[in-house]
Structure 1
């Protein structure tokens, strides 16, 4: 059960959030619990939707965004986001099971996407304190400074939703996929391969 209020319907949400939820409903045909959770704060919902929409105009492919979301959800142990992005990765981004598994481990079987996902995982693990070598590797793989900034913002967007859903214990309204995050010496670890 959620630890924060999840408006049951669009009309149960604050009035200022309702137009945003109507737009989500029109686009998706449903309003997932994440959006209804965010609707508690119209400003938070608007900010989240605005940032997510802006990233769709970036130069990174949508599949790379899904790959990053899977990696970060695993790192942060967010079952809601893991469930949502496993579903979206498979059904919208058309990622196969092997790719989703690789993404959850902070990598990719797609050679051009692998450096982006690996860098995103390092950003998440180090809270942005990546090394010069980490930057050099992603740049040598052909990623521009603009794309590197987009990778970081994809990580930040994932952290935002991961933390909101973990704090709220948001009820999962996608096919459930659990993270396998473990703790070794108090540090989150990736899946064992």
Structure 2
């Protein structure tokens, strides 16, 4: 059970309603995480704006892969559920690639390097070695893209920490398997 108040949609502050409506239209539902954050409009605004800004760096599958790798490394069940849902239902990632992403890998060589690097950033608390930088550069990432990988990882850390502190109730729809019912 969530340890913080998760207000009903009709009980959120007025200044957060438009944000939650946009998220609901985009995702098909308003996740508990965002409803909880809505109790503090400044925090909700900060998280949503960071996510919006970071949606313009790297490609979507790479961002999803990083989020899954980081969420697995942090043991965030809520974030694993939402990122699995978004990666599968909205991001076009296969079940195999989602499984690999959770381990810090991918079916795509370059994306796998980004996931490994992001995972190492989290595990080392940002103190990656020269070898990790050489490896991510060898996969084709530029220094500006490496900065983006780190920032996407930190964005995932932020929501991991918020959800781990809260123990947010998982309200994510079941992911449909290819060719089968959800």
RMSD: 1.5
Shift of 1:112: 1.8
SS at match of 1:146: helix
Counterpart in 2 of 1:152? 150
**Hey, what does 1:82 align to over in structure 2?**
80
Q: How far does the alpha carbon of each residue in 1:147-170 deviate from its partner, in whole angstroms, 9 at most, with x for none?
A: 111111111111111111111111
Partner residue in 2 for 1:186: none
Which runs of at least 4 in structure 1 moved beyond 4 Å after TM superposition? none
Return 5+ residue gaps in structure 2 as ranges: 176-182
Contact 2:85/2:174 (<8 A) preserved: no
- Residue equivalent to 1:182: none
Matches within 5 A, 1:22-33: 22-33=21-32
Matched with 2:137 is 139
**SS of corresponding position for 1:109:** coil
Distance 2:22 2:90 in 1: 19
Report the equivalent of 1:92: 90
Deviation at 1:122, TM superposition (A): 0.3
Aligned partner of 1:56 in structure 2 is 55
Task: Count how many residue pairs are aligned between Structure 1 and Structure 2.
Answer: 175
Higher helix share: 2
Deviation at 1:54, TM superposition (A): 0.7
Give 5+ residue unaligned stretches, structure 1: 178-193
TM-score under structure 2 normalisation?
Answer: 0.90
| 3-state SS of 2:81 partner | helix
